[in-house]
Amino acid sequence: MNLALFDLDNTLLNGDSDFEWSQFLIRIGVLDRELFEVKNLAFYDQYKAGTLDIHEFLDFQLKPLSRHSRKTLDEWHRQFMRESVLPMMTPASRDLVQQHREAGDVCVIITATNSFVTAPIAREFGIEHLLATEPEQRNGEFTGGVADVPCFREGKIIRLKNWLAARGWTLDSFADSTFYSDSLNDLPLLCKVKKPVAANPDATLRAHAEQHGWRIISLR
């Protein structure tokens, strides 16, 4: 039995669902462009540079969820999937996921982006398991807070270990463990698996992958 872990944004997707969700809300008039677009771009630049304060970002990203009913949010998300997400799902990414599914591997998307945004995307890829940052909910509605450890950098390792332990597994339970990621932020988890793969890597990850002989692929 093998384990296949996939980062989502800029890895399986040719773009960033977290960033695009905010841009979508700006485009349909839910968020004020003047107030939110500059912040959204700044946070995205910090993420790419490896300097993002995850708690500051989550406060920015999750607060808008608390201002609208879940029914309304779900309606917006269906439009977001059609207009923004499906065009970012490349044939190469779909083929890669399908190869692992056909091999009988345990497939998991592990992403810092919150589960409200990413759960429908995981379903579209046909991936059953999702480890994502969890928005706090009360009576089925979002509070604007975060539950559990954010699934970011070292937090991905914590969340994965807890998820595996709940099933009686560790990474060593698998003959092979593979993790596909584009980002320097995922170096902590990439260093834990047996087969790290740099997919559409940023410059820092590419240099690290080349230095350590990791596989490098493009899903675009």
Which residues in 87-111 are b (16+ Cβ under 10 Å) and which e? ebbbebbeebbeebbeeebbbbbbb
Say which of 9, 16, 182, 202 is annotated catalytic.
9
C-alpha distance from residue 49 to each of 5, 16, 52, 120, 137 (Å): 23, 15, 8, 28, 31
DSSP annotation of 78: H
Catalytic residue at 45? no
Report which of 183, 70, 81 is spatially closest to residue 125, judged by C-alpha positions: 81
What residue numbers bound the domain in which 94 lies? 2-217
- The pTM of the whole model exceeds 0.85: yes
Cα 68 from Cα 121, distance rounded (Å): 21
Query: In this predicted model, what pLDDT tens digit does every residue of 49-96 receive, in sequence order?
Result: 999 999 899 888 899 899 999 999 999 999 999 999 999 999 999 999
Domains held by the chain: number: 1
Average pLDDT value over all residues in the chain: 96
Q: Which member of 7, 16, 105, 182 is catalytic?
A: 7
Which structure tokens are listed for 102?
A: 């056909």
- From the list 112, 108, 143, the residue with the least C-alpha distance to 16 is 112
The answer to whether 188 and 155 are in contact (CB under 8 A) is no
Please give the DSSP secondary-structure letter assigned to residue 189: H
Token digits of residue 27: 């485009």
pLDDT at 34: 85
Number of Cβ within a 10 Å radius of residue 10: 23
pLDDT of residue 57: 92
User: Is 7 considered catalytic here?
Assistant: yes
In whole angstroms, give the CA distance from residue 197 to residue 182: 9
- Only one residue has tokens 């994502």, namely 132
Please write the tens of the pLDDT for every residue from 118-174: 999 999 999 999 999 999 999 999 999 999 999 999 999 999 999 999 999 999 999
Report pLDDT for 35. Answer: 83
Percent of the chain with pLDDT over 70: 100
Distance separating alpha carbons of residues 134 and 114, to the nearest angstrom: 6
pLDDT, residue 27, reads: 96
pLDDT tens sequence across 158-176: 999 999 999 999 999 999 9
Residue 89 tokens read as 């799902």
Of 13, 6, 59, 77, nearest in space to 220 by CA: 13
The CATH number given to whatever domain includes residue 79 is: 3.40.50.1000
